[in-house]
Amino acid sequence: MYKECVYKRESRKEYEAHQTNMASLNFTLATPTTSSSPFFSQTTTKQRRLKTHGKQTHRFQVSRNVSSNNHEKPLTTNPQPQKLILPQTSLDLQNVDRRNLLLGLGGVYSTVSLSGLPPAFAEAIKAPFNQPDRPCKDAVSGFDSINKKLLRPIDCCPLSKNVPESDFKFPDESSQTRIRYPLHKLPLGYLDKYMDAIQKMRDLPDSDPRSFNNQAKVHCAYCNGSYTQNNKELQIHNSWLFFPFHRWYLYFYERILGDLIGDQTFGLPYWNWDNPEGMTIPHFFVEKQCNNYKVENGENPLYDVYRDKSHIRQMMRNAFDATSFFGGKYVAGDEPIPRGDNVVGSVEAGCHTAVHRWVGNPDPNGNKEDMGNFYSAGYDPLFYVHHSNVDRMWTLWKQMGGKEPTDTDWEDASYVFYDEKQNPLRVYNKQSVDLSKLKYEYHSSATPWTDRPPRSRCNRPDYPKRNNTKDFPYQKDPPEKLTLTDTVRLRVKRPPASKNRNAEQKKSEKEILCFIGISFDCTESAKFDVFVNDCDEEQITPCDSENVGSFAAVPHAKGMAMGCKSGMRFSLTELLEETKAEGDEFIRVTIVPRTPGKNVTIDAIEIRLIPVL
């Protein structure tokens, strides 16, 4: 039986403060819901005592067929109703229309795990540094090391100098602010400066933690199980760590580049893929020989032999609350994937993942290096300018009124990076929120997606309607597990309270299409598109209301789990307005798999009313 739980996850400080007043720690688990599924037909409240995590140990064995060096390998080309109360998080939720919040290319909406319970109390994630009891290890997953030739090494541990870490200090207030420019509008001479910096980083020996290879290893280590927390893998994707970790990663990468060329004002450019003018991969990343940049071998330092040369233009769509933007809570002791309260941030699941998938090596027999696999993504210079724009999304979201989490478990999460002087510094999430203190900012660029909302294609007078209702059988009661071997079509019943709501009701509660229990292999790419009330899914694009979004995953570490299991939710409120279907009892759902041959299943689909908190 599927149930949603309401809980209060306390920090360690809160727990210790209450110990003197409580003989034992109890959590109230309530499951009130408004749902069209029989699994949620009754409202119940249960009391359950939760235990803290015990110590757990596990080992990993990986067969490998690559050397421990970091040189590129030759490329082989084969190329009723009660209100639903969700698990509460500490994120500040904003009632902002989806058109004014970023969702991401391809219409990917945030994903949420609807099962599992949190630890009784939590500690913030603290990444290890030079700890013998928490040694860094080779990447454990994200690729098929037996049947597919790896193009990059899996010894992901960056160089670790035998020096103690220090706490990060903000740059001096008098230091000049670095400007990050869009790649398609770089100032005169800036491209030469950028290429020179990348070449100098490539020329550094691997005994230097600032070298190109060691910088690439940082992403592999944090994303593929090389580090641990509380005897479990540390994973910085699929949770609220995603944005701050990558902000710090780029912060030091940018400062290293600037220091190598003697320019303390150098700012890392951003790939402006949310602007039509900047959507394509800039030509100076694609050309192996760059006539305007001369080095001894004549090769372009921005070129990556394993990159896909094609690129698809798509528009942005939008999230409906802050939880969907940042991602769910992740603390020490949590399983990396899957976990309870597993919300993947909308930008991470959307434009971030879409670009990774597009740019990776298209060889169907490979592991999608470099950008298409997290273990190798850092070896492509395009990775950093891509994430520069992802970081810019955070800045734009704040300009729209968004707020970072205030939970101390988020604020106190920390990592260690080497700065431009090879000093290991521990940084905290709470230090990442103010760009004025970090002394960098983004040069403005047009954001056309903010004032161009999706429009219904199927409601246009000249567009043919789908008349064959037999293509859409009614969803069974209870729902059956769906296997996405081919396109799936079905009718899903809406909660009675969701029909013909007024503006105030829509403001307080969003109508959400929930995909429960999406199971897939973490070591493989996975993607499917979702359409609602469509007339022809082959013609619908993300610019049309009927395309509600996609589920997409880049291969990465899966821990001890046999596979990944997550969930996904799509906002229907505006779509039903645009398609003039607010009074309908059912909606038509079409699911189109985009990764043939992959074993992807969905336990259930249902529609819920979710409060905007």
What is the set of active-site residues?
219, 237, 246, 352, 356, 374, 387
Beta-strand ranges (E) seen in 21-128 are: 27-31, 44-48, 103-105, 111-112, 121-122
Nearest to 573 by CA among 609, 604, 534: 609
For every residue of 180-228, DSSP letters joined together read E-BGGGPPTTHHHHHHHHHHHHHHS-TTSTTSHHHHHHHHHHHHTTSSE
Q: Read off the tokens for 116.
A: 């599992």
Task: Give the type of residue at 609.
Answer: L
* DSSP-based three-state secondary structure for 364: coil
For the chain, the residue count is: 613
Q: How many Cα neighbours within 13 Å face the side chain of 596?
A: 3
Task: Identify whether the C-beta of residue 375 lies closer than 8 Å to the C-beta of residue 142.
Answer: yes
Owner of token pair 């009660």: 82
Beta-strand ranges (E) seen in 68-157 are: 103-105, 111-112, 121-122
Nearest to 373 by CA among 52, 127, 154: 154
- Between CA 284 and CA 292 the distance in angstroms is 9
> What is the CA angle 598-601-603, rounded to 5?
170
Q: Read off the tokens for 563.
A: 């596979």
Task: Identify whether the C-beta of residue 326 lies closer than 8 Å to the C-beta of residue 94.
Answer: no
- Between CA 145 and CA 573 the distance in angstroms is 44
Strand ordering across the sheet containing 414-418? 166-167, 424-428, 414-418
Widest distance between CA atoms in the chain? 74
- Between CA 150 and CA 376 the distance in angstroms is 10
- Between CA 342 and CA 345 the distance in angstroms is 10
Task: Identify whether the C-beta of residue 484 lies closer than 8 Å to the C-beta of residue 595.
Answer: no
Task: Identify whether the C-beta of residue 145 lies closer than 8 Å to the C-beta of residue 154.
Answer: yes
DSSP lists the bridge partners of residue 562 as none
Q: Count other C-beta atoms under 10 Å from residue 69's C-beta.
A: 10
Q: Read off the tokens for 297.
A: 């071998």
Chain-centroid distance, C-alpha 287: 29
- Between CA 290 and CA 201 the distance in angstroms is 18
> Helices in 469-578 by DSSP H: which ranges?
503-508, 573-578
- Between CA 536 and CA 542 the distance in angstroms is 13
Task: Identify whether the C-beta of residue 487 lies closer than 8 Å to the C-beta of residue 108.
Answer: no
- Between CA 235 and CA 231 the distance in angstroms is 12
Which helix H or strand E contains 587, and what residues bound it? strand 586-593
- Between CA 548 and CA 542 the distance in angstroms is 8
Nearest to 288 by CA among 309, 269, 271: 309
